[in-house]
Chain A
Amino acid sequence: MLLIMFCTDASAPFLFLFSDVAPPLLYYSHLTSVLSVLLVSLFVFYQKRSLATVLLLVLAISFSAWTIFDLITWVHIDSRIIMFSWSFMNFFEPLVFVVGFYFAYVYLKGRDLPIWGKMGLLSILTPFLVLAGTTFNLEHFDLALCEAIEGPLIYFVYAVELSLLIFIAGFLIKTVIYSEHKRRLEVALFSLGIMLFLLAFFVANALGAVVIQDWTIQQYGMLGAPIFAFFIGFLIVRYQAFSARLFATQLFTIVLSVLIFSQIFFVQSRTNFILVLITFGVSVVVGILLNRSVSSELIRKNELQVMADELAIANQRLKMLDKAKSEFISIASHQLRTPLTAIKGFISLILEGSYGNIDGSVRSALNKVYLSNERLIQLVEDLLSISRIESGRLEYKFRKWAVEELVSDVVDMFRLRARDANLDLDLQLPKDKLPQVDMDGDKIREVISNLIDNAIKYTKQGKVTVSVIQHRKSIRILVQDSGIGIISEDLPHLFQKFSRGKDTSRLHANGTGLGLYVGKQIIEAHGGKLYAFSEGEGKGSTFVIELTIDREESQEDSSLSVDMKKR
């Protein structure tokens, strides 16, 4: 007996899949969807093996399986093949939704479903798996229509899909609302992508099957897949590894070329054919060039990012170190004072004879100890001053001072030393009385003292001249010497802390012990300028303190580090 099993409205498909009885767009919608979804999920899986990427792959495979089976049912004439494929479709269809949810959960939450969740999903799937091969699913085959007639299971399928869809929608909306601000865009985009995909898939199928009874609508539902693939691709580019961008570009250019090439199936004429070929050729060439440029740009971008990150870290450490150093100096200075006081006190008592008479040689030795200790005390004082200056905690007491008196006082202090060093020490003051200057006299005195000290130190013979002049709205104090001078390389570094010039951070034995660095800080806190010039080695140097008569508040941020803004 010959069972009539073949549809009579068409001939057998070529290569199992290709037939011209298929409605237009069939291959287009089905094959491109499968291709795009599989490519993207394979690529993502290749990049990073995790539960989320595995699920994406499973989703892609489920969808692709459904699509291929659907294609088969469209083009085949053997009823057995059609029935077989069709029955599987009604299993893969809900599977797509279930896996879709599972994937969305894992991607958004970053963790696996709890066991009861997996159980729940499995229980939803089981009936479909069990009943797929039964008449509950497909009642029989209608040769005339060349279609399978679906049983009640199909309503169950749609019911499950609809409820899952609503559930997924709810879950996605909830996640978007409760997500952290910075993740919100990513989450929203993902949710939109997957919802569009599932929605398109469901609506097209449901509409096509139940409402309008036109399967061709279904094909449009397929197009949800490339949309989904696009979203996933975009998400990869935006939020994941940079190297994905290159592949995304490659993917885009390949898909574009493929799409252009696939137009071949729809050519109407030879001209059309040639045009399509040309467009295809162009797209391939452009694709290659684009990929090359993206590739090199990415490499450069990566390098820059790495450098920027390292710089930010180094900057952070620098700030911490600076702070730690200041704190250390502060604490150490305070701690050091206790033993220094004890030494000072007890030695002075011994020298005073509180513990009995002492021998002359003992006295001599103890005197040296006492003076050394005084030096130490001064050193601690200096360190503390420097740390105070650097952390901006140095207090200035501003009032009006007569500059001539101040300078003259300081110069007097050095007359003896200059004499000892066989140098002339000259003071030149203007004839007319200068206006008084608003400043912290004690600190300015220290700066001038330091300059004269340096001048004497670095001059073998000749003279040191200190002069005061008024220049428009400011007063200038000049210390000029005929000493070793300053070479031009050293000039810009003179006032820095660890300059390579001869005068590094040498600390004075008297006062607050200022180096040129600290001197500059102090002058700048007055809104003034401290600078030097020299004609070269052996030609002497001139240091200038410039102060405005009426000091304006000028707050300069002299912090060491620079604030870097990340891109």
Chain B
Amino acid sequence: MASILLVEDDPMISEIYKKKLEQSGYEVVLSVNGEDALGKMRAHTYDLVLLDLVLPGMDGVGVLKEVSQAGERVLPSPVVVFSNLNDSENQEAAFRFGASGFIAKSQFNPTELLKEVERYIRESSERKKNQEHFASQEALSQKEQMPPDDSGSKHVLFVEDEEVFINLFAERLKKEGYRVTVAETGAEALRVVEEQNVDILVTDMLLPVMRGDELITQVRGLEHGAHIPIVVISASATDEQVAVVKNMSIQGFFIKTRITPSELADHIRQALREE
């Protein structure tokens, strides 16, 4: 369960957000001023710190300055600042002193805020992974840098005809350590399913020759295709096609404009785990 430190002096606002975040399963710790927040951050690492800029005593920027100068005396936690839109000076300062992101209070209602919080939490966890990855790569010499060993990992069949999405999503999945095969048509994908062992199928809807839903029907018709988890990512399906597909047994349906590559990787991990 992820932990969040909420630094907000207005009791009504903090109550609303705390309730909302707890409803989503986060552990929420409250802090009402800068000093208190610093103290807590020295003691714990949080998955996210939501820091209001306007605080009694030491304000949000002040807290950040302290954190950035304190070095190891303060434990690393990603900090996202609250601000109002007409507060751009402080925003710039906040980022300069290490804030990971900002949320404009008046723009988001509690539900949207939740999405942003999740985004930042995911972003910082990915960032950590990437930092570790780069660190370990640097440690190896040029010769020793090999492409990741994917022989033991799951086989993902990614069906998509547009190059930009292949670059975006398929590459990210490769980075996750999966063995990724890209098929640009439904027919090609079907062949791969028939000839090779596929652990999960990720497909677009609008494909040349054979549409996504046709592909799914065909795959489900195969003997070993009946149990392969299928995730659909689509940009341009009509309502009717969406309804049809949702009635088939698939493990996830996402709209491309609503999902980032890392979120997709997350969902795939979940789908594979649930197998």
Q: Chain A interface (Cβ within 8 Å of chain B)?
A: 334, 337-338, 340-342, 344-346, 348-349, 351-354, 356-357, 360-361, 363-364, 367, 377, 380-381, 388, 393, 395, 412-417, 419-420, 509-510
B26 at the interface (CB under 8 A from A): no
B86 at the interface (CB under 8 A from A): no
Interface size class of B (residues with CB under 8 A): 35 or more
State whether B109 touches A414 (Cβ < 8 A). Answer: yes
State whether B107 touches A352 (Cβ < 8 A). Answer: no
B101, B106, B122 pick with most chain A CB within 10 angstroms: B101
State whether B257 touches A352 (Cβ < 8 A). Answer: no
Among B13, B101, B257, the residue within 8 A (CB) of A377 is B257
State whether B106 touches A420 (Cβ < 8 A). Answer: yes
State whether B91 touches A349 (Cβ < 8 A). Answer: no
Listed stretches B55-63, B127-135, B185-193, B221-229; interface member: B127-135
State whether A341 touches B165 (Cβ < 8 A). Answer: yes
State whether B257 touches A344 (Cβ < 8 A). Answer: yes
- Taking CB as reference atom, which chain B residue is nearest A336? B257
Would A361 and B95 be within 8 Å (CB), given that A341-B256, A353-B126, A353-B131 are in contact? yes
Q: How far is the CA of A381 from the CA of B96 in the complex (A)?
A: 34
Among B101, B110, B122, the residue within 8 A (CB) of A412 is B110
Among B126, B131, B235, the residue within 8 A (CB) of A357 is B131
State whether A354 touches B130 (Cβ < 8 A). Answer: yes
Chain B binding surface, main DSSP class: helix
State whether A360 touches B260 (Cβ < 8 A). Answer: no
State whether B168 touches A353 (Cβ < 8 A). Answer: no
State whether A419 touches B12 (Cβ < 8 A). Answer: yes
Q: Which residues of chain B are near A337, meaning CB under 8 Å? A: 235-236, 255-257
State whether A393 touches B92 (Cβ < 8 A). Answer: no
State whether B106 touches A388 (Cβ < 8 A). Answer: no
Output the least CB separation between A398 and chain B (Å). Answer: 15
Q: How far is the CA of A395 from the CA of B246 in the complex (A)?
A: 15
Among B97, B100, B262, the residue within 8 A (CB) of A349 is B262
Q: How far is the CA of A244 from the CA of B43 in the complex (A)?
A: 103
State whether B16 touches A510 (Cβ < 8 A). Answer: no
Interface 1/0 per residue, B163-179 and A, CB below 8 Å: 01100110010010000
State whether B110 touches A413 (Cβ < 8 A). Answer: yes
State whether A354 touches B13 (Cβ < 8 A). Answer: no
B105 at the interface (CB under 8 A from A): yes
Q: How far is the CA of A318 from the CA of B261 in the complex (A)?
A: 43
Output the least CB separation between B238 and chain A (Å). Answer: 8
State whether A345 touches B260 (Cβ < 8 A). Answer: yes
- Taking CB as reference atom, which chain B residue is nearest A376? B257
List 13 A–B pairs whose Cβ atoms lie within 8 Å, in order of A's numbering: A337-B236, A337-B255, A337-B256, A338-B162, A338-B165, A342-B168, A345-B260, A348-B123, A354-B126, A377-B257, A380-B257, A413-B110, A415-B12
